């Protein structure tokens, strides 16, 4: 296939994956709806049973036993998600093959988003094989669908060759680590948000009743962060500086992206520190985790709108990435001061 065909194929695959995620989301929602009505029925049944003097109805406070239809819908949701992840992966590979020369598919914002959502969905699917976390399905699929829609509407970008500064093996190592930790932190944040919502509610039915105990939510969220933090450290404080040294001549430049990556690191360090030593659990820890996720996503999207001087700034389609001002001593009009550029511009990211 030609590059162009690969690109079109990649788009179609992403759309297919998005549709599958959407269907998975519907299946999960259907499961919740069934759950809600089923619980009401079982409550009625319980009342009836109690009246009849027969024990064996679900005890109060126990998660309601899902009905058969609910179970099928939940299974369907997971299967659809797995299919979507596979097609999502195909889309990423096709995107890489669409570039000339072929490359890893995270050269700009659109590509980073489809890679990041893939990792979120993949972590979720992998986690379901090890721990009981299928109840997170509705949130994960909703998030992935929303992010893919945003990528299509706001970030769409054609396949472009990589500029020189991005053309490095560190692109693979640095960005893979960043994407994986972003995925883990994102799921951790979903769990923390869920914790906060559930802690304010004691609804005996519906989604929140399906979700496990606060204690379990708290622990799962911690483990996502404990996994993400070392990977983030590797991405931001080891591979980042090594690459920055090679490409920009200094291992730390206080570039806005670097600053925010550092802020995210510090916030998550505080999160782990607070848990380990000050005994912060539950609510406080969840709030801190959400602050961390906010800095993470602000760094990914928001900072591009605040600062155009960033060497990581890919907000414009053709932006100089390596503009070094040659200091002109003496009174100079602004227009005469000059960015000397090794025209290595990033595509959007």
Site residues (CB under 8 A) for other proteins, limited to 123-152: none
* Residue 326 backbone dihedrals phi, psi, to 5 degrees: -80, 120
Instruction: Give the list of residues 6+ apart from residue 246 with CB closer than 8 angstroms, or none.
Output: 168, 170
CA 172 to each of CA 72, 107, 166, 167, 240: distance values in angstroms, whole numbers, following the listed order: 39, 10, 10, 10, 11
| Binding region for other proteins (CB under 8 A) out of 10-18, 45-53, 199-207, 248-256 | 248-256
Binder among 26, 82, 160, 287 for other proteins (CB under 8 A): 160
Q: At what angle do helices 68-98 and 3-52 cross, to 10 degrees?
A: 170
Q: Please give the structure tokens belonging to residue 39.
A: 């619980």
CB-neighbour burial class of residue 76 (10 A; exposed 0-12, middle 13-18, buried 19+): middle
Our finding on whether 64 is near other proteins (CB under 8 A) is no
From the CB of 74, what's the least distance to other proteins, in Å?
22
Does the footprint of other proteins cover residue 260 (CB under 8 A)? yes
**What's CA 35's distance to the chain center, in Å?**
28
What is the smallest separation between the CB atom of 127 and other proteins, expressed in angstroms? 13
Which CB sits closer to other proteins, 36 or 346? Answer: 346
What helix, strand, coil percent values describe the chain, rounded to 5?
70, 0, 25
Only one of the segments 43-51, 69-77, 137-145, 153-161 lies at the binding site for other proteins (rule: CB under 8 A); that segment is: 153-161
**Three-state secondary-structure class, residue 324:** strand
Q: Which residue lies nearer to other proteins by CB, 60 or 326?
A: 326
The residues with which 323 forms a beta bridge, in sequence order, are 341
Residues 322-341 binding other proteins (CB under 8 A) are 322-332, 334-341
Among 262, 283, 287, 297, binds other proteins (CB under 8 A): 262
Quick check: 344 binds other proteins (CB under 8 A)? yes
Write down the least CB distance from residue 257 to other proteins, Å.
8
* Shortest CB 255 distance to other proteins, Å: 7
Near other proteins in 206-245, by CB under 8 A: 215, 219, 222-223, 226, 229-230, 233-234, 237-238, 241-243, 245
Closest to 13 measured CA to CA, from 87, 83, 79, 120:
87
Site string for other proteins, 288-317 (x = CB under 8 A): -------x-------x--xx-x-------x
């Amino acid at each position: 296939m030609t590059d162009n065909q690969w690109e079109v194929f990649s788009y179609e695959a992403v759309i297919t994956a998005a549709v599958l995620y959407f269907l998975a989301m519907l299946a999960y929602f259907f499961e919740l709806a069934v759950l809600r009505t089923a619980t009401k029925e079982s409550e009625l049944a319980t009342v009836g049973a109690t009246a009849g003097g027969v024990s064996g109805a679900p005890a109060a406070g126990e998660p309601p036993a899902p009905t058969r239809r609910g179970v099928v819908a939940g299974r369907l949701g997971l299967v659809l998600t797995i299919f979507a992840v596979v097609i999502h992966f195909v889309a990423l590979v096709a995107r890489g093959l669409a570039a000339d020369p072929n490359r890893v598919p995270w050269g700009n914002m659109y590509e980073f988003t489809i890679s990041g959502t893939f990792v979120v969905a993949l972590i979720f699917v992998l986690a379901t094989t090890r721990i009981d976390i299928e109840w997170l399905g509705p949130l994960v699929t909703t998030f992935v669908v929303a992010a893919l829609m945003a990528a299509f509407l706001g970030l769409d970008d054609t396949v472009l060759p990589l500029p020189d500064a991005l053309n490095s093996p560190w692109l693979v190592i640095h960005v893979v680590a960043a994407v994986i930790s972003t995925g883990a932190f994102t799921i951790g944040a979903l769990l923390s948000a869920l914790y906060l919502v559930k802690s304010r509610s004691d609804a005996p039915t519906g989604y929140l009743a399906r979700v496990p105990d606060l204690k379990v939510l708290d622990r799962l969220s911690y483990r996502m962060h404990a996994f993400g933090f070392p990977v983030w450290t590797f991405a931001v404080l080891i591979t980042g500086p090594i690459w920055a040294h090679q490409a920009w001549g200094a291992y730390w430049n206080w570039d806005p992206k670097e600053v925010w990556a550092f802020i995210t690191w510090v916030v998550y360090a505080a999160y782990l520190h607070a848990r380990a030593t000050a005994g912060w659990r539950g609510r406080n820890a969840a709030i801190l985790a959400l602050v961390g996720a906010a800095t993470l996503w602000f760094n990914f999207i928001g900072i591009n709108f605040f600062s155009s001087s960033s060497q990581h700034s890919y907000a414009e389609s053709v932006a100089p990435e390596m503009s070094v001002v040659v200091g002109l001593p003496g009174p100079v009009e602004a227009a005469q001061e000059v960015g000397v550029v090794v025209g290595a511009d990033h595509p959007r990211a």
